[in-house]
Amino acid sequence: MKHLFFLFLLPAFVAAQDGGISFTEQPFDALLAQAKAEDKLIFIDAYTTWCGPCKMMTAKVFPDSAVGAVYNERFINAKFDMEKGEGPGLAARYDVAAYPTYLFVNGDGNLVHKGLGYIPKPALLELADVAVSDRSLGALEARFDAGERDPEFLQNFAMALTNAMDESRADRVVSEYLTGQEDWSTPANLQLLLASPGGIGDPRMDYLIEHAAEIEAALGAGSATSTIQRALVNTYHREHRKRSLVAPDNIREYYETEAGPLWQQLHSSYALMYYERKGDMKHYLPLAMDHYSRYPSEDYTELNGVAWAFFENSDDPAQLAKAVEWAERSVELHPYYPNLDTLAWLYHKTGQQEKAEAAAHRAIEYAKADDLDYSDTQKIFQ
pLDDT for the residue numbered 14: 44
Q: What is the pLDDT of residue 329?
A: 97
Q: Which of 30, 41, 46, 51 is catalytic?
A: 51
**Strands of the chain, DSSP E:** 13-15, 23-25, 41-47, 75-81, 101-105, 111-116
What is the gyration radius of the CA atoms in the chain, in angstroms?
Answer: 24
Q: pTM to 2 decimals? A: 0.66
Which among 79, 104, 133 is the end of a domain? 133
Note the pLDDT of residue 154.
Answer: 81
The reply to whether 209 falls in a domain is no
User: Would you give the distance in Å from CA 200 to the centre of its chain?
Assistant: 22
Residue type at 381 in one-letter notation: F
Taking residues 317-325, report their average pLDDT. Answer: 98
Question: According to the model, what pLDDT value does residue 166 have?
Answer: 80
pLDDT score at 3: 34
Examine the pLDDT at 307 and tell me if it is beyond 90: yes
Please state the domain count of the chain. Answer: 2
In this prediction, residue 24 has a pLDDT band, given cuts at 50, 70 and 90, of very high
pLDDT level of residue 231 (50, 70, 90 thresholds): confident
Give a yes or no: residue 239 inside a domain.
Answer: no
Give the DSSP H/E element, type plus range, for residue 217.
helix 212-219
Pairing of strands 101-105, 111-116: antiparallel
Examine the pLDDT at 106 and tell me if it is beyond 90: yes
Q: How many residues does the chain have?
A: 382
Establish if 248 belongs to a structural domain.
Answer: no
User: Can you give the pLDDT at residue 72?
Assistant: 97
| Rounded CA separation 77/221 (Å) | 40
Instruction: Indicate the residue type of 346.
Output: L
Paired residues of 78 in beta bridges: 44
Note the pLDDT of residue 11: 37
What's the pLDDT score for residue 331? 97
Q: Is residue 16 part of a domain?
A: yes
Residue 249 domain flag: no
pLDDT tens by residue, 326-344: 999 999 999 999 999 999 9
Answer yes or no: is pLDDT of 17 > 50.
no
Domain-located, residue 114: yes
SS3 of 116-138: ECCCCHHHHHHHHHHHCCCCCHH
SS3 annotation, 46-106: EECCCCHHHHHHHHHHCCCHHHHHHHHHHEEEEEEECCCCCHHHHHHHCCCCCCCEEEEEC
Closest CA to 288 of 261, 309, 259: 309
Active site includes 22? no
| pLDDT value of residue 9 | 33
Of the candidates 78, 99, 133, which is a domain's last residue? 133
Assign residue 128 the CATH number of its domain: 3.40.30.10
The answer to whether residues 233 and 246 touch, using CB atoms and an 8 Å cutoff, is: no
Q: Does pLDDT of 4 surpass 70?
A: no
Of the three residues 90, 112, 133, the one that is the final residue of a domain is 133
Whether the predicted pLDDT of 372 surpasses 90: no
Report the chain's terminal Cα–Cα distance, integer Å: 69
How large is the average pLDDT for residues 115-124? 92
Q: CA 340 to CA 261: how far, in whole Å?
A: 35
How would residue 229 be classed by pLDDT, with cut points 50, 70 and 90?
very high
Which among 375, 308, 371, 365 is positioned nearest to 52, based on CA atoms?
371
Q: How far is the C-alpha of 132 from the C-alpha of 181, rounded, in Å?
A: 31
Mean predicted confidence (pLDDT) in 83-96: 94
Q: What is the mean pLDDT of the chain?
A: 90
Q: Would residue 266 count as lying in a domain?
A: no
Q: What pLDDT does residue 15 have?
A: 46
Question: 135-168: string of b/e by CB count within 10 Å (b at 16+)?
Answer: ebbbbbbebbeeeeeeeeebbbbbbbbbebbbee
Average pLDDT over residues 138-167: 84
Which residue range is the domain that position 364 belongs to? Answer: 299-382
Q: What percent of the chain has pLDDT over 70?
A: 95
Residue 126 predicted with pLDDT over 50: yes
Categorize the per-residue pLDDT at 241 as very low, low, confident or very high, splitting at 50, 70 and 90.
confident
Is 54 part of the annotated catalytic residue set?
yes
Q: Which of the given ranges, 138-152, 159-173, 215-229, 310-324, has the highest pLDDT on average?
A: 310-324
Q: Which of 21, 30, 42, 54 is catalytic?
A: 54
Predicted confidence at residue 155, as pLDDT, reads 78
Local confidence band at 18 (pLDDT 50, 70, 90 cut-offs): low
Residue 292 lies in a domain: no
Q: Which residues contact 280 (CB under 8 A, 6 or more apart)?
A: none
